[in-house]
Amino acid sequence: MRRYVVPVCVCAAALGLAASWSSARAAQPASRSCEGISGYYGNGTGLVLAPDRTSLHVTMPYGRPNAYGVCRDGNIGVNFPDDGPVSGRFDGTTIRWSNATTWTRTEDAQDIGPQEPSGSPGLCNGLSGIYNDGIVLVVGGPARDVHVSMGGGRPEAYGRCNRRGLTVTFPDDRTFTGRFDGRQIRWSNGTVWVRR
């Protein structure tokens, strides 16, 4: 049985993350990429790969704080503020973590939304991503739940996406509707978020 030692990357070292890969991890089929990691996972967690194709933003359910990390060649390192650093491996649909947990991306996690022509007004296709100066939006699950991480000390926002567009409740403000055109979201309060 082969044993692999996989460097996570300099970014992981900067975050204080360490990874050691056992022979059990090496025996699993492995994606050579982090493409497709963005999406909604069955445990209620949303993951977004940043435009730099390396940085990860993890939105956590149940009031847990968001986490940040890196992904390179399918190797993941994430620092969970309430749990510490954890390494993992993404195989194209599933993340197998060093703490023996497994996350599986839900159906439609990559296109995330109705399977209709992308770019059609009001649709959710390709909506998950990072907007403006770091706003993270993740859509997924059968109900097309929307989870927005605003940053800057603002509380998490939640809502839904359907054929008519987005409806999101911001706890420190109010509920707004939005339309996604494939590149930006135009909100009912007049603001525009541009996907990076």
- Asked if 124 and 144 count as a contact pair (C-beta separation under 8 A), the reply is yes
Length of the chain: 196
Mean predicted lDDT score pLDDT of the chain = 74
- pTM value surpassing 0.85: no
pLDDT tens digits, residue range 140-163?
Answer: 665 577 888 887 888 888 888 887
Return the percentage of the chain with pLDDT > 90, whole number. 27
pLDDT tens digits, residue range 91-128?
Answer: 988 999 999 999 988 764 443 333 334 444 446 777 88
User: Per DSSP, which regions of the chain are E strands?
Assistant: 39-40, 46-49, 55-59, 67-72, 75-80, 84-90, 94-97, 102-104, 129-131, 135-140, 145-149, 157-162, 165-169, 175-180, 184-187, 192-194
Whole-number Å distance between alpha carbons of 88 and 24: 12
